[in-house]
Amino acid sequence: MGLLSWLVLGLIAGLVAQLIVPGPSRGGCTGLIVTIVVGLAGAVVGGFIGVQLGWGTVDSLDLRSIGLAIIGAILVLLVLQALRGAAD
């Protein structure tokens, strides 16, 4: 996948994960960048989980890859919220 494909995948996964996991929202350009970063981190985590379970990797813009990226992004958001809660 090219850079643009990864950015689109990150944006999709990050947006869906933020809709599913409640939490504080950030507005503006920083919010978009954070959303993409969370989605990209989720794609990495989801790809790792997919390989471990025999579901394949995140390597294209298909439904399986997007699903794995969303699952990973949800996990990333939950871990971030847990860390933020532990710091408070």
Domain boundaries, given as residue ranges, for the chain: 3-87
In the chain, the percentage of residues whose pLDDT exceeds 90 is 41
Side-chain half-sphere exposure of 26, counting CA atoms within 13 A? 12
Residues 33-56 have a mean pLDDT of 90
- Does 81 or 27 have the greater pLDDT score? 81
Residues 7-31 have a mean pLDDT of 79
Contact 53, 72 (CB under 8 A): no
Q: What does the DSSP 8-state code read for residue 59?
A: -
**What letter represents residue 64's amino acid?**
R
The whole model's pTM is what?
Answer: 0.85
* CA–CA separation, 41 and 44 (whole Å): 5
pLDDT tens, 52-79? Answer: 999 888 888 889 999 999 999 999 999 9
